[in-house]
Structure 1
């Protein structure tokens, strides 16, 4: 019997997966589950599962990073990814991680899960029959991305360039020529919002990296690295009077941009560094590019080129330059005045641009303003993943696009509340069921059974009816109740958690902060 480990940061989803199929009938045993990526690493070493089913959008260490670590420890492990994204097929085209399947949570059926697991079991059985199944080459291929990134970081640190070039050769990377050129690629986060959720950011970044790697196969000498700062492209070439290698690098970057727009519907900004670098210059040039990335915050354009001698623009402290716009934006949200809001945002952007305000201070200003407005008007809808994206924006347009999108959602939320839209009768029945089982750990299967509906149909129906999955709806409802309990009673946080069906206080605090924007203890102190 093969062992299966489940990983998802929503505890009800773990229960749902356990209930969805007859595991024993498939010759499988769920040996453990966890909502924590840190705990998952510990369980993986202890339980040694054959198959791992993991959510991608995990906090701290996402599912892709977990899978890479699992594969490093045990290359035979089969991986099935879960994602909430309904338009996941865009990203799936670009993913090349050695996983067995990708399943969409909101559309997950027992038949889909069983088919995916049968494929894993068949793969495991076939592997047992193959001698020397894990060759050095297979192991190298599985860990190529990690080894490549380690190589690049050694290059940046400096040292023996000959040793670095030799290490690259062992990874199948040929750096034969004396000259190098660097480029950085940064996601435009505002371009994600119409189609993706903020929690999908790790998935989209990995997809961009795979697209760039695939395109690089058509350009000799270009190697791609998936750095925390963004996409890094390193071009090794031999200077020639007949070939314009700067133009060739730009052609490559433009093709990556076009593919990302075509397959993922996202925009990637490119920053191309100076040419004719020696191997020993790569580290300083990369650090310079990172500084220029910050300094190009106000520079328009999807593809920028910087020569090694270009002067860096100076940015000024924020001070009190945007206090008037801050009041105007707050007033516009309070008054639900969309035209006034858009005008105030344009005014803030123009002031920031004309004054050359420090980008880090401007971004922090937008974060603080938005958190204040969300706490006032929509405390249940706070997304920490969204704020992580906002803080990672690299241009004024991206920052203001993110801010505008969220503020307009706030206006929509306020409008819906003020209209007092009546809920459909079946949704009222679901609300009654949740209220009657407020202190139980219920799942969408329980709700579907209560309504005498097929669980897969119920999941699709509920998402269409409310715009979110049942787990998010349930958590948000419970956290609203928890907030009132914390305000009105003297019960401890642990007791509030237990009364709402959360046996683990740490998990309860994590869920509370996700939907309320603060921890239970901080909320009570306010």
Structure 2
């Protein structure tokens, strides 16, 4: 909907035009009536119009000056002059400002204004279409370039280096020259908290595009001799070229550069990325070997600190295999997950995680142990509630496999343990009807996103209206009330055990409107999230 502004110190004229035109019927929004150019200009700073119809002679600022100032900010602004002046020099100035129409008040007919507005709408529609096509073309070019860069870096890592000269030439096509006598330092950037990032940006493509933009803009703004390559949505590779010798400490420069990029990502996207700086190389072949060593060091990557910038080290891939202490704590946790003592679950889960970190267990081993424990607890809950086993194993497996660091896995595991406690609390209250039981199970597994009655009814092959009545009859509350209650329970858990801001907790629970989330929480808990957390800390 295009926005229209009317400016004239003759208020009856403004009143006539505003009431004589069916703005909504034309697909227009009348955003303001102003009696002088200065007032209109100040309003435009907060809400720029697409169309302006203005008088010329007005106090404080005339219409021609107003249009000149507005067109500096919005060159494609559609404008018309409505005036009692018929002198040629006024019309001449209007033409210079690309004003499409010059209408005289004494011959004004509302039908002329309507005709003029239709012309403006046609022009704006055409401009919008052209701009959309141009943006699509630019996006396609950027996407193709990104795919070429990804293909290049993957080939560098995984394929034999047959022709160093050809490799240098291809690197140059991406804006980075690498000559004899120079060194190239590789850096691997790993996005922290990937599941949260995906929830924020909805798709991996959008997330990748956002990261690419921020990193590329930072490189250009700082003037670094560097090229950025997206290896995956989680992993970036940066190559930096420095002169050989002692004049410049390339590693310190790399550290500063990654710090700047990390700050830009945090400030712009509210995400964190950790960086590992590899060994400098004087040839493509040595660079390939350096990247291979860095990517093979899975233990260093997994047990990294979020947001860190470190020099990559070798020889850290030895993983612990002792399960005695971990299994002992795990058995205790397995039993606690069937009960309702959140404090005991938190303490025991924290003990298990501390032991796993101390032993530096291999990521695959640790993930497998967690999955078995959580799935075993869920099966026991389902048996106790006489539920039909939900198809949750694949969902849990997919989630845990995407976690690329111990801090992420730690937060995920703690959240899943508390979810199991929440589900256990509901076991005695849930219906013995398998459809309702499965719906409740689905909700507990997907509290991190929007859940609609229609979606769940479709999964159960039920009519939404029938499912709604069935759920209310069996549980005593509507499905939406149940979802909200479960989300508010989770919100309390997150407020209790994390320092995450309310905005992030709101997003974590699938709400895109923070004010609405706060209103729901206050209705549920009697206080706002901030007040709740403050009381818990005081207690």
Task: Name the TM-score, length of structure 2 as normaliser.
Answer: 0.50
1:182 aligns with 2:182: no
1:402 aligns with 2:412: yes
Partner of 2:340: 336
Larger radius of gyration: 2
Partner of 1:166: 169
Question: Is the CA contact (8 Å cut-off) linking 1:318 and 1:361 kept in structure 2?
Answer: no
1:347 aligns with 2:351: yes
For the residues of structure 2 that align with 1:354 and 1:235, how far apart are their CA atoms? Answer: 35
**Cα distance 1:141–1:149, how it changes in 2: closer, same or farther (>3 A)?**
same
Q: How many residues align?
A: 321
Question: Is the CA contact (8 Å cut-off) linking 2:164 and 2:285 kept in structure 1?
Answer: yes
Shift of 1:147: 0.8
Runs of 5+ consecutive residues of structure 2 not aligned to the other structure:
1-121, 383-388, 437-445, 465-539
Question: Is the CA contact (8 Å cut-off) linking 2:329 and 2:351 kept in structure 1?
Answer: yes
For the residues of structure 2 that align with 1:200 and 1:184, how far apart are their CA atoms? Answer: 22
SS at match of 1:196: helix
Q: Superposition RMSD on alpha carbons, in Å?
A: 4.4
Shift of 1:479: 8.5
Shift of 1:377: 4.0
SS at match of 1:143: helix
1:297 aligns with 2:302: yes
Partner of 1:327: 331
Q: Write the mapping of 1:346-495 to structure 2, written as runs, cut at 5 A.
A: 346-377=350-381, 380=390, 382=392, 384=394, 387-416=397-426, 468-478=451-461
Partner of 2:225: 221
Partner of 1:257: 262
Question: Is the CA contact (8 Å cut-off) linking 1:154 and 1:164 kept in structure 2?
Answer: no
Shift of 1:270: 1.8
> Which of 256, 268, 290 is residue 285 of structure 1 equivalent to?
290
> Which of 229, 238, 248 is residue 253 of structure 2 equivalent to?
248
Q: Write the mapping of 1:104-183 to structure 2, written as runs, cut at 5 A.
A: 126=130, 141-156=142-157, 157=159, 158-176=161-179, 178-183=182-187
SS at match of 2:207: helix
**Cα distance 1:333–1:152, how it changes in 2: closer, same or farther (>3 A)?**
same
For the residues of structure 1 that align with 2:409 and 2:381, how far apart are their CA atoms? Answer: 21
SS at match of 1:334: coil
Partner of 2:273: 268
SS at match of 1:322: helix
Q: Write the mapping of 1:509-524 to structure 2, written as runs, cut at 5 A.
A: none
For the residues of structure 2 that align with 1:331 and 1:377, how far apart are their CA atoms? Answer: 11
For the residues of structure 2 that align with 1:119 and 1:272, how far apart are their CA atoms? Answer: 53
For the residues of structure 2 that align with 1:284 and 1:416, how far apart are their CA atoms? Answer: 54
Name whichever of 258-267 and 332-341 sits farther off.
258-267
Partner of 2:516: none
Shift of 1:317: 2.6
**Cα distance 1:201–1:126, how it changes in 2: closer, same or farther (>3 A)?**
closer
Give per-residue Cα distances to partners, 1:317-362, cap 9 Å, x unaligned.
Answer: 3545422222222222210221111111121122222323222211
SS at match of 1:409: helix
**Cα distance 1:129–1:196, how it changes in 2: closer, same or farther (>3 A)?**
closer
Shift of 1:468: 1.8
For the residues of structure 2 that align with 1:480 and 1:370, how far apart are their CA atoms? Answer: 32
**Cα distance 1:293–1:355, how it changes in 2: closer, same or farther (>3 A)?**
closer
SS at match of 2:319: coil
For the residues of structure 2 that align with 1:371 and 1:183, how far apart are their CA atoms? Answer: 38
Shift of 1:305: 2.6
**Cα distance 1:160–1:316, how it changes in 2: closer, same or farther (>3 A)?**
same
Name whichever of 399-408 and 310-319 sits farther off.
310-319
Q: More relative contact order in 1 or in 2 (CA 8 Å, sep 6+)?
A: 1
SS at match of 2:186: strand
For the residues of structure 1 that align with 2:172 and 2:208, how far apart are their CA atoms? Answer: 26
**Cα distance 1:411–1:127, how it changes in 2: closer, same or farther (>3 A)?**
same
Shift of 1:164: 1.3
For the residues of structure 2 that align with 1:471 and 1:198, how far apart are their CA atoms? Answer: 24
Question: Is the CA contact (8 Å cut-off) linking 2:187 and 2:239 kept in structure 1?
Answer: yes
Give per-residue Cα distances to partners, 1:55-76, cap 9 Å, x unaligned.
Answer: xxxxxxxxxxxxxxxxxxxxxx
Give per-residue Cα distances to partners, 1:418-468, cap 9 Å, x unaligned.
Answer: 5679xxxxxxxxxxxx99xxxxxxxxxxxxxxxxxxxxxxxxxxx99x952
**Cα distance 1:380–1:285, how it changes in 2: closer, same or farther (>3 A)?**
same
Task: Name the TM-score, length of structure 1 as normaliser.
Answer: 0.51
Name whichever of 262-271 and 179-188 sits farther off.
262-271
